[in-house]
Amino acid sequence: MSSRFDAEATAKLYSEIVEAAEKGIFLVKPGAGDDTLYAYAGWRYMQGVSPDQILFEHPPLGKYLIGLSIAVFGNQNMLGFILGACTLILLYLTAAELGGRGVITLAPVLLALDRLFITFSHISFLDIYMLFYLTLSTYLFTKALKQTKLLIPFSIAYGLAVACKWTAAFLILPLALTLVIKRRWSTLTYLAATIPLSLAAYTATYLIYFTSGHTIQDFINLQYQMLQYQEARRYSIGFVPGELLINLQTGITFLNVLSGLFNPLLWPLILPASALSIIYYISKREGYRDLLPPITTIGMLTPLLHGQVYIWYLLPTLTIGYLTIANTLQHIYEDAKRKKLAAAAITAYIIAAATWSITWVGDIWLR
């Protein structure tokens, strides 16, 4: 994590980035990245600037939280680090809710070993804030399968996830599909009835925007401008369909660069593990452990296979995807006749994945 936030230096760098962008130039300079832009926006938001004035193209909540981190800790990254740790706890609770206290609870261990997650837990990007609320939403949804009233806080958390970044919106479809497959029609109806709470939570993050004199019509127009911006950025320039799938399975980005964030013992196993989970569900048709994680993993990945993407778009897929890997490991252990041997094999796999992620082995291979 970086040192204390320097408002003057960040404001100067922000001006240089904007000036270069207006001339069609991508500024190559230490610190001249999206994290600097979001930190400056968050700092200004906390001073009362309306979200439509600076970096309007994404919803404001993530930037507000970055600004809160600056205000409370004097550091733009600290709150993201804390919420990253909370995401691990929520993933553990989700795994325990789905599969008991078994091997499936290794899911947060796998996520904690992931270099992409580690990296984005230490920088002021919007994605770690979105990921926290997405994981919170998923946990609340698993609880709501037993206590329907928990769909109320789920919908609020879901709205806040979308208020960090729009890609979180894709979560609702696989969750609804899970209810359809399980024929939980009353729960599905309750879920639909609580969606207005999501809209209310999302809209509430624009409070300063409304108090600055803007109307509901202005708000709708702003959302349309944001949509136009995102469409132009993702679809108006060249892209390779399915590039995010290539990223996931091979770690290759921009079709020619092998990402140092890639772990061949983790990423490529997510989709096969999802397929195995679905096969297990078809053969037994019991519970949600073999259904919810793979449906959600595939559901979060599929909408992003068309259009320009960045490797951090994989974060939601990886987070839920590690539930599918851990679930497969739990099945291996449960089905094994020699439990000690299965436990030793699982332990060896975790150690190998950890060795790749946190030591020099992966870096040597990448060279």
- Say yes or no: 180 and 321 in one domain: yes
Tell me the per-residue pLDDT of 120-166, one tens digit each, with 9 for 90 and over.
998 889 999 999 999 999 999 999 999 999 999 999 999 999 999 99
Encoded tokens for 15: 């001006």
- Say yes or no: 33 and 161 in one domain: no
Encoded tokens for 353: 């994945």
Q: Counting beta carbons within 10 angstroms of the beta carbon of residue 185, is it exposed (0 to 12), middle (13 to 18) or buried (19 or more)?
A: exposed
Residue 2: inside a domain: no
Q: Which of 38, 53, 73 is the last residue of a domain?
A: 73
**185 φ, ψ to 5°?**
-65, -40
- Say yes or no: 90 and 234 in one domain: yes
Average pLDDT over every residue of 262-278: 93
Q: How far is CA 105 from CA 251, 289, 328, in A?
A: 26, 12, 11
Tell me the per-residue pLDDT of 23-72, one tens digit each, with 9 for 90 and over.
666 555 555 577 888 988 999 999 999 999 988 999 999 999 999 999 99
Q: Which of 43, 73, 103 is the last residue of a domain?
A: 73
Domain coverage including residue 201: 78-366
The DSSP-derived string for 283-337 is: HH--TTTTTHHHHHHHHHHGGGSSS---GGGGHHHHHHHHHHHHHHHHHHHHH-S
Report the alpha-carbon distance of residue 62 to residue 164 in Å, rounded.
5
287 — pLDDT class (breaks 50, 70, 90): confident
> pTM (2 decimals)?
0.91
- Say yes or no: 40 and 108 in one domain: no
Q: Which of 73, 103, 130 is the last residue of a domain?
A: 73
Into how many domains does the chain fold? Answer: 2
- Say yes or no: 153 and 274 in one domain: yes
- Say yes or no: 194 and 335 in one domain: yes
- Say yes or no: 359 and 241 in one domain: yes
- Give residue 367's pLDDT: 43
- Say yes or no: 154 and 261 in one domain: yes
